[in-house]
């Protein structure tokens, strides 16, 4: 319940034009902080395989709590909406001047005409059953990434599965 209220508050802040507030600091152990998020979600989903490939050893100027929230949303989605008999893969890497965080899962792909819609607030596919989430998670991810001057994108196909990739400038 508290998470739902936090999501709605983040949505309201985003909508009021001020965007999600971030407090940027130089962070030297972002991989460790992201690993803590993975460990927490693994504990809550003990039967699921989550593979991690962490190699973001660079310093990242970011709001670490917000980046943890970003990963929690993306990984939570992969576990909820992906196939439960396929591993979820979380990768972090520094590429040039960017930190790249990606989460991929198998399962039914998101139809191509819905790929942009998934980032809209309160959007869930017409086929989704009632009683799930609010459809705010990816909107909040986009707000967090944009507040850091970064981007988030999704690729989805039957052969490759679904992959969300966030790119954040290392320096801010
Ligand atoms: N990793 C994924 N694999 C397949 N479909 C996904 C994935 N992530 C999101 N989706 C689709 O996009 C929709 C919107 O995702 P979003 O995170 O915004 O909302 P939600 O997960 O339904 O609810 P909330 O995050 O608010 O609890 C989901 O309902 C789902 O249909
Ligand atoms: Mg979600």
| 112-152 pLDDT tens trace | 999 999 999 999 988 887 778 889 999 999 999 999 999 99
- Give the domain CATH number at 106: 3.30.565.10
Kindly state if the Cβ of 78 falls inside 6 Å of ligand 1: yes
Q: Residue whose CA is closest, atom 22 of ligand 1?
A: 135
Domain containing residue 125 = 2-169
Could you give the number of structural domains in the chain?
Answer: 1
Kindly state if the Cβ of 82 falls inside 6 Å of ligand 1: yes
pTM over 0.85: yes
Q: Give the model confidence (pLDDT) of 22-54 as tens digits.
A: 999 999 999 999 999 999 999 999 999 999 999
Would you say 41 and 79 are in contact if contact means Cβ atoms under 8 Å apart? yes
What is the Å distance from ligand 1's center to 140 Cα? 11
Atom of ligand 1 at shortest range from CA of 124: 29
Atom of ligand 1 at shortest range from CA of 140: 18
Given this model, what pLDDT does residue 17 score? 67
Given this model, what pLDDT does residue 124 score? 92
Cα separation, 119 vs 100, in Å, equals: 18
Q: Residue whose CA is closest, atom 27 of ligand 1?
A: 133
């Amino acid at each position: 319940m508290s998470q739902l209220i936090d999501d709605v508050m983040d949505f309201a802040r985003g909508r009021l034009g001020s965007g999600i507030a971030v407090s940027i600091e130089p962070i030297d152990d972002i991989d460790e902080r992201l690993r803590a998020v993975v460990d927490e979600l693994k504990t809550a989903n003990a039967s699921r395989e989550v593979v991690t490939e962490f190699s973001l050893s660079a310093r990242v100027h970011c709001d670490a709590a917000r980046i943890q929230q970003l990963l929690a949303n993306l990984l939570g989605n992969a576990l909820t909406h992906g196939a439960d008999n396929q591993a979820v893969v979380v990768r972090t890497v520094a590429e040039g001047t960017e930190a790249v965080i990606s989460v991929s899962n198998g399962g039914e792909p998101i139809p191509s005409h819905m790929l942009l819609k998934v980032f809209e607030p309160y959007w869930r596919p017409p086929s989704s059953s009632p009683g799930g989430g609010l459809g705010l998670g990816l909107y909040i991810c986009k707000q967090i990434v944009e507040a850091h001057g970064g981007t988030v994108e999704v690729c989805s196909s039957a052969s490759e599965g679904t992959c969300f990739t966030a790119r954040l400038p290392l320096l801010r």
